[in-house]
Chains A and B, each alone.
Chain A
Amino acid sequence: MFHAAIAALLLLNLGVALWRLRRGPTSADRMLAAELVSASAIAVLLLLAAGLAQPALVDVALLVALLAAVATANFVTRTWTLLHEESGSREEAGRD
């Protein structure tokens, strides 16, 4: 009961991340919002694993954690390149 309530609260919290995802304004903001969602998804999965006594859910959480790192590495190396002339990201890139 306690686990499920916290999981539902975390899911409700996703609304904030979805708002950031919609609003942006830079692609880095959107990427961070997506990472917030994957962190919340890991927490929800671990809570469900404990609450429903299903240890296999920990494997799903492990997978989500590993692939979140790949998504971030992809974003910084391949999407956020000098070619990318989106107003926000060029400003960020120019500051360096």
Chain B
Amino acid sequence: MSALALAFDLLLVAALLWLAWQALFDAHRFSAVAHFMVFGLVMSLAWVRLDALDIALAEAAIGAGVTGALLLAALGRLPAKAGHAPAWRRAQRPLVWAAVATVVSATLALAWVAWQLPRPGLAGPVAEVLPHSGVDHAVTAVLLNLRAWDTLLEITVMLAAVCLVWSLGPALSPYAPATALPGLPALTRLLHPLFVLVPAYLLWRGSHAPGGAFPAGAVLGAGGVLMVLAGAVHWVHDARRQPLLRLLLAAGVLLFLAVGLAGLGLAGTFLALPDALAGPLILAVEVAAALSIALMLMAFYLYGEPGR
């Protein structure tokens, strides 16, 4: 078994290195994007082998799925002739080498620091406070209670990214596909209920097993992207619905902030959750965050501000 496991892991590592190299250095744009999508899939297998199922779920949903979809749609807007990057100029060479040296030395320094970290890490202390955190799954407890600050900032960064994308101009209307697609509306109608059911399941599971707001939001958002592709989402472009759309986009951050301020009032610390209320509060924040994440991913996909 161990020899087989070793062979499996070596195959994974070899495939990952090859895919990463191709995704970065393939001159053909579509080929690079396809390699990147496959890289995300193989990476999620690697996370499974490392026993990090939460990260495997997030990588499969966000890395391989949603980012791949965004890149594919962006490729469709670019002129097809692959533009080769110009060669480095003589004056740029020292800068390039300085950047490479900085990255290599920073990587080595980080690896050294990571090696020096006390073992076995924080799993013990987290397990100790788990009964007071309101959930039974350590990763969810860390993400939404013990280190809720990091998660709040992550969602805020996504909201800022939506503002940035929308500030670039009005939403782009897609080009006509090269072939007729009679199956697409039927596929969307058949699949979309699953894209609503699975996030609900992942959210419910997040309290006691791998799952939670980020994969749930990503799957819901991917379902929304499927609806956008089939031309079934008109309301986001409706000028009268813009306040509602913006409110829903910000709902995750707003509810998270409200819970954090309530913690300041009740427990004396920003984002501290009282033991008795922690479970329901975490669930409420997760639902709002998943909805906002899903809408944010759809909002990226419009490539500009709708309703203008």
Contact = CB atoms under 8 A, between A and B. Distances in A.
A8 B19 contact: no
Contact of B178 (A17, A63, A92): A92
A67 B61 contact: yes
Contact of B229 (A57, A66, A67, A77): A77
Given A73-B229, A79-B72, A86-B80, A30 B31 contact: yes
Interface residues of B, number: 69
Interface of A: 1, 4-5, 7-8, 11-12, 14-15, 17-18, 21-22, 24, 27, 30-31, 33-34, 37-38, 41, 44-45, 48, 54, 56-57, 59-60, 62-64, 66-67, 69-71, 73-86, 89-90, 92-93, 96
B31 A14 contact: no
Interface string B28-57: 101100110110011011001000010011
Given A41-B42, A66-B195, A66-B219, A83 B175 contact: yes
Contacts of B171: none
14 contacts: A11-B15, A12-B11, A14-B42, A21-B34, A59-B205, A60-B60, A63-B198, A64-B41, A67-B65, A70-B222, A80-B179, A81-B176, A83-B77, A92-B178
A4 to B, nearest CB: 5
A96 B44 contact: no
A37 B30 CA distance: 16
A92 B81 CA distance: 17
Given A41-B44, A57-B48, A84 B202 contact: no
B304 interface: no
Contact of A24 (B31, B61, B176): B31
Given A44-B45, A73-B184, A80-B178, A56 B80 contact: no
Contacts of A1: 1, 4
